[in-house]
Structure 1
Amino acid sequence: MAKEVADLTTIDLFVDEKRPGRPKTNPYSREVQVKINKRNQVKRDKSKGLKRVEFKLHHEVFAQLDTLAKDKGVSRSELIESLIIEALAKD
């Protein structure tokens, strides 16, 4: 007996066939994964002695920081940290 893809009565013949698409590799939902990843990131930063600081900047200042960071080949975070260290050293 030939096996037909559309034949639902012989579905047991298709049990071993892999279904198309990306397999689920994580049992958690995306929302839970994001929370877990964020928690792990905070732990890594804490072990490195880093502390999170948030502040708001005008978009023009942000653009200038972004451009300067790209010109120097560093991240915005590294640039802001170096600017703060430089300003604190002057006092």
Structure 2
Amino acid sequence: MIKFTASALERIRVAFANPLVREQYGLRVGLAGASCSGNYLFGLDKPMEDDEEIQLEGFRVLVKKAHLLYVIGKTVDYLEKEEESGFYLC
């Protein structure tokens, strides 16, 4: 399905350290804007009806069913640089 690097998993653990966040939210992975645009989005979000939920080390990963085709087989990484940091899909 979707793979996560060690650095991405560590940042996800930090984001979900609060049990209330872990209960109510999941990590949203998907497309931003038009499909095939190559712009991906990552963030905390509440589950929706049209989501596929993936369990990952006790965390929920949320992907809209329509976006699955574009993220299956991809790897989520977290890069931290002086000028910017964040999640990337490669």
Q: Report the TM-score range of the alignment, normalised by the length of the smaller protein.
A: under 0.3
Of Structure 1 and Structure 2, which has the larger fraction of its residues in helix?
A: 1
Q: TM-score, normalised by structure 1?
A: 0.25
Larger radius of gyration: 1
Of Structure 1 and Structure 2, which has the larger fraction of its residues in strand?
A: 2
Q: Which has the higher contact order (CA 8 A, sep 6+)?
A: 2
